[in-house]
Structures are given as structure tokens and as C-alpha cells.
Amino acid sequence: MDSICVNARAKINLSLDVLGKREDGYHDVKMIMQSISLHDKVFLKLTDDKDIKISCDKRWVPSNSDNIAYKAAKILMDKFNLQKGLDIKIVKNIPVAAGLAGGSADAAAVLKGLNEMFSLDLKQEELMEIGKTIGADVPFCVKGGTMLAEGIGEVLTEIEPLKNVDIVLVKPKFSVSTPWVYKNLNLEKIISRPDTDYIISLIEKRDLKNLGKEMVNVLEAVTIKKYEVIGEIKERLVKLGAFGSMMSGSGPTVFGIFENRATAQKVYEEMSMDNRWDCFLTETFCEER
């Protein structure tokens, strides 16, 4: 196989709690991560020049070794001494630095694609272990679905899949630095934390109405304080009919969950009229087990 195209799916957080800071500088988290249908397309093509080349249709995405997808290819090709070159082309649909794990999804797609192209027969768990060395969200992006994520985000436990829930994403036209958010998070001043076990039970029952009410992201305390528009978006989504709304990851993307596609479509159209942000109509995604 000389070429392959892999879908790299974005994620949202249905809850996000930060438990403490580790000695290595990272934070211990407890969060629920969910794949969504919004995805990049990652095209891989083998070449004879033994170089890794990367390109993207969005000029602001790095097209060099700084790109996490390049790093994923480099690690796997070095590890297995794969004597070929590789062209990586990314068609970017997931917003950058948006709390949606777009870069991690691209890296995971490279790992999965190379595993298939070279018939490495690596199990999913082995790809996740390699992914962990690249970024905390990469193991989840390899596995996908509905997961409880602990540790720095790499310790994953399957939850009952939350399929086909209609989602509206709203991404303000600025980016947020994840390290900046964590640096400014005061763990002692967190007032509201998610009841993660209860949220898991609501997911298992597919109780979307109460799930919407219970979703909490402790990082909002940092990001909304600096960017008030995030709070405005949350309020508007709920006012327009979302069961609940929350910032994903460190932001700034906000999502709302909806009862059905018709309501989500109407809200998507309404929110799209404001040029302060970009909107996406999507749904939760889980592959068949």
C-alpha cells in the first residue's frame, strides 16, 4: 500500500476536572472525552527520497518538524527503521488551538495510517503507548469514542458510547494557549467541580437533559475571566435551546448539546449570523466495537 487517507476526528470534553499539579509540571486530570464527527483528512503517501514532508491547506499550520503529525511519523519510522520517505498532506477542518485536539487527532491518524501501510500489526494499545510520548491527547485520539481520561489524560477507561448526539460548536476568532490556562489555574480557588461518576451514569442512561445541566469544566474559571465572550456564547446556546453548554478543553471553543438535529440546525444558523465566531454543526461519534 503506497497511500492512504485517514479521518482525524476532533474531541470535546463532557466534563473536565483538574485534581492537582504533578512534580513533572503536568496536572492530574479526571475528564470525560468524546469524539465528534468533525474531522481533518490526513493523506499519507510513500516516496523514495526517505524524507518526511508535510503540508496543509491552512497556511498557519506548521509545515515542518514542529507539526505534531510530523513528530508522529518520525517516531514510528525511526522505531521500525522504515526505509521510505513520506508525504503528509493535511486538509484542515478542525480549528487550531481551539480545545478540540486537532493536532493530536492528526498525529493519531498518522500512527494509524502508517501501521496499516507498512502492515506493522501494532495493536491499538501499542499505538496509544507510542502516542503518549507525543502528546497527552494522542492516546485518546487513537482510541476515540466516549472515555473517562485520567492521569495527564492518557489513562483511558471506556464508557457506554454516546452516539449521534447533535452538537453545535462555536469557536471565537482567537486561540488560547493551553500552558497559559494551566499556569493561571488556582486549584485552591476552584468553586465548582464536576461530579464525574454521576455524569458517567447520565451518559449510560443517555439522559441528555440532565447531562447538559451537570457538565462542568474547571478551566473555564481561567479562560472566561480573560475572554468574556466565551460566557456569552454559553448563555446564548442555552437560551436558544441547548440542554447544556460548556467550553471544551482549555478553550476557546464552546459547544452545546441538543435534543435533535432540527433544533441544532436552527441554533447553528442563528449563531452563524454573528461574525465574531465560526460555527460548526456536528454530532458525537463512536465506532462500532
pLDDT above 90 for 60: no
What is the percent of the chain where pLDDT is above 70? 100
| Per-residue DSSP letter, 98 | S
DSSP 43-74: EEEEESS--EEEEESSTTS--STTSHHHHHHH
* Whole-number average pLDDT of the chain: 95
What nine digits make up the cell of 140? Answer: 485518546
Residue 223 is which amino acid?
Answer: T
Q: What's the mean pLDDT in 255-263?
A: 97
pLDDT above 70 for 155: yes
Over the stretch 265-276, which tens digit does the pLDDT of each residue have? 999 999 999 999
pLDDT above 70 for 26: yes
Q: What is the pLDDT of residue 150?
A: 95
Over the stretch 31-42, which tens digit does the pLDDT of each residue have? 999 999 999 999
Distance of CA 286 to the CA centre of its chain: 14
Over the stretch 158-179, which tens digit does the pLDDT of each residue have? 999 999 999 999 999 999 988 8
How far, in Å, CA of 81 to CA of 92, rounded? 29
How far, in Å, CA of 228 to CA of 218, rounded? 15
3-state secondary structure of 148: strand
Q: What is the pLDDT of residue 23?
A: 79
Q: What's the mean pLDDT in 275-286?
A: 97
pLDDT above 80 for 289: no
Q: What is the pLDDT of residue 139?
A: 96
Residues belonging to the active site: 11, 137
Residue 2 and residue 46 in contact, taking contact as beta carbons nearer than 8 Å: yes
200-232: burial string, b at 16+ Cβ within 10 Å, e else: bbbbeeeebeebbebbbbbbbbbbbeebebbbb
